Structure formats: structure tokens, C-alpha cells
Structure 1
Amino acid sequence: MPRFQHIAHPTMTDPTPVTPARPELPDHLSADPRSPFHVAAAFEHDIGIRFNDKERSDVEEYCVSEGWVKVPAGKARDRFGRPLTIKLKGRVEAFYR
């Protein structure tokens, strides 16, 4: 009769939770999938943008090195139904939440 060996479960031996590695946030990132600056791997995690020391949740695109963000301009839409955006200049910080 075969004997069963006790095999330790991997989470029992290692108390640290396994989290997928987050890619480094790029200098220029866009939420529009058609943009060449769209990085789908970055959007698998929650991204935060701090603009002039205030956290913003309506940013469509940003560039840290040039110091600007693009945000929707009210309820205005272009002829394709996408929101019109305006570029605001200032200090930009991108981070994972």
C-alpha cells in the first residue's frame, strides 16, 4: 500500500503574498488605446496622477518630463463622441496606488 507524503503548500512556507510585478510607469502615458503612448500593461494596475500637489482622477494623458496633463474640457465632445481635452501645464507625478 503506497504512503502519501506530506507536501507543504507554497503559501504555508512563504508568508509574503505573491503579487504580479508592476511595470515601471512611462514618462508619457495615454489612456486612449489608439495612441502610440498607450501601455496596456500599466493599466492593469490602479494609476494615480498628482498635478501641482493635488491628486486628479480625470487625466486622459500625461507627460512628466514636459510637465503637462490633458483633461476633459467639460462635457464637450468631438464629432466622433470622444471628449475634447485641454492641456494644463505644471508639476506632474505619476504613481501606482
Structure 2
Amino acid sequence: MNDTPPDRLSNDPRSPHYDEAAMARGVGIRFKGEERNNVEEYCVSEGWIRVAVGKALDRRGNPMTMKLQGEVEPYFRDAAG
């Protein structure tokens, strides 16, 4: 299996960027050098993450998200050792 996480990944199964194998393996995100646990989606090449904003939901019941720009470093948690 590849030891590099995908360039773009979402935790929403309806998204075209959802990858079941990567999600099962566990992907961790460092954003601007700080560990983040509330990331909904990320893109390394474009340099952004989407994070949930509190407990607010949109009209379809999905969490409200905010896009943050900066350096994104994904890694597989099982390889973090």
C-alpha cells in the first residue's frame, strides 16, 4: 500500500474525493504545524482545509464548515509510530 495520503480527501461518503481505504487506515492532518482533529476535507496542492464550525448544521443536516488557507501536511496515523 502507498505510504503517501491522497492530495485531496473528504470524510463525506457522498463526495467524489472520499476514499474508503484511506479513511479506514486513518489520516492525520498538521495544519500550519499544529495537529488538527476537526478536519472535514483537505487539499494539499491548493493549501486549504475545511473544518466544522461549532455544532451548527446547514439545512440538509450537514455540519457548517469554514475554509482555512495554509500549509497542509497529511500523514497516515498507523505509520506515525
One fold, TM greater than 0.5? yes
Secondary structure at 1:60's aligned position in 2?
strand
Q: Name the structure with the higher strand share.
A: 2
State percent identity of aligned pairs: 55
Structure 2 contact 28–74 (Cα < 8 Å) conserved: yes
The amino acid across from 2:76 in the alignment is: Y
Q: Structure 2 unaligned runs (5+)?
A: none
Partner residue in 2 for 1:15: none
**Structure 1 runs of 4+ off > 4 angstroms?**
none
- For the 8 Å contact 1:22–1:42, the answer to whether it is kept is no
Residues 1:37 and 2:17 aligned together: yes
Asked whether the 8 Å contact 1:23–1:42 carries over to 2, the reply is: no
Q: Report the more deviating stretch, 38-47 or 23-32.
A: 23-32
Partner of 1:48: 28
Are residues 82 and 75 of structure 1, via their aligned partners in 2, closer, same or farther at CA, if it must alter by over 3 Å? same
**Root-mean-square deviation over aligned CA pairs:** 1.2
Q: TM-score, normalised by structure 1?
A: 0.74
Listed as ranges, the gaps of 5+ residues in structure 1 are 1-20
**Alignment: residue pair count:** 77
